[in-house]
Amino acid sequence: MKFLELMPLTAEMLSAAVELDQLCLGGLWTLDGYRRELESPNSDLIVLQADSSSELLGLGCVWAILDEAHITVLAVHPNYRQQGFGQALLCSLLTLAWQRGLEWATLEVKVSNQIAISLYRKFDFQEVGRRRRYYQDTGEDALILWRKGLQHQEFPRTLQTWKRQIDDRLYQSGWHLSWIRESDRAPLCE
């Protein structure tokens, strides 16, 4: 069994985060950009790491804006895809949003990114609109997806069900995952 851990990004991981961003997202944010995220009280940046190496296998970020959770980064190293890592990251971002008391989660995704769209649908994201020619690199439209009900009474149970399913999926691929702990989080600003 190989061991995996989800944890908050630390200053020592910044350059590895930029490398993974370049590999998966074509350079969405610079080193300074990631440093700003790390310092922002409204941003949760998480990584997925195997205990056998310091390499980052996955990266995720969510911003808290009023009562909305904006998912800004979700990426899994190309060598580690289709094993459940993307689901583990997304489930953790939604857990962090729920813990902050946010009501909705939202994100933009390229219309052609069917893999990511299929992942978001699994977590009940729904299409609510489209931003025309949103991406400068390709001129492609962005779909705007929303996930409501983060503070509904049943949502903590939904999170637990997802986590069990993800644990089973990872286990089948030989991974044991340690989920992010509440005590790992930076304290929230008043």
Q: How many CA atoms lie within 13 A of 44 on its CB side?
A: 29
Is position 165 an interface residue for ligand COA (rule: CB under 6 A)? no
Examine residue 87 and tell whether it contacts ligand COA (CB under 6 A).
yes
- 135 or 155, CB closer to ligand COA? 135
Report if residue 85 touches ligand COA, rule: CB under 6 A. Answer: yes
154 is catalytic: no
Cα distance between residue 159 and residue 107, in whole Å: 19
Task: Single out the residue of 122, 130, 152, 164 in contact with ligand COA (rule: CB under 6 A).
Answer: 122
Q: What is the token pair recorded at 14? A: 């910044």
Kindly tell me which residue out of 61, 69, 93, 109 binds ligand COA, with binding defined by CB under 6 A: 109
Cβ burial, residue 179 (10 Å; 0-12/13-18/19+): middle
Out of 49, 86, 92, 143, name the contact with ligand COA by CB under 6 A. 86
* 74 touches ligand COA (CB under 6 A): yes
User: Nearest distance from residue 95's CB to ligand COA, in Å?
Assistant: 15
- Cα dist from 33 to 21, 37, 116, whole Å: 11, 6, 23
Q: Which residues of 150-167 are buried (b: 16+ CB within 10 A; e: fewer)?
A: beeeebeebbeebbeebb
145 binds ligand COA (CB under 6 A): no
Torsion angle of the four alpha carbons 75, 80, 86, 91, in this order, in degrees rounded to the nearest 10:
-120
80 is catalytic: no
Q: Cβ-closest residue to ligand COA?
A: 86
Residue 190 CB, nearest distance to ligand COA (Å)?
32
CB 109 within 8 A of CB 142: yes
Report how far residue 183's alpha carbon sits from residue 47's, in angstroms, rounded to the nearest whole number: 16
The catalytic position among 5, 68, 108, 127 is: 108
Could you say whether residue 143 binds ligand COA (CB under 6 A)? no
As a whole number of angstroms, the distance between CA 74 and CA 147 comes to 16
60 counts as binding ligand COA under rule CB under 6 A: no
Q: List residues with catalytic annotation.
A: 108, 120
Applying CB under 6 A, which residues contact ligand COA? Answer: 24-25, 74-76, 81-87, 109, 113, 115-116, 118-119, 122
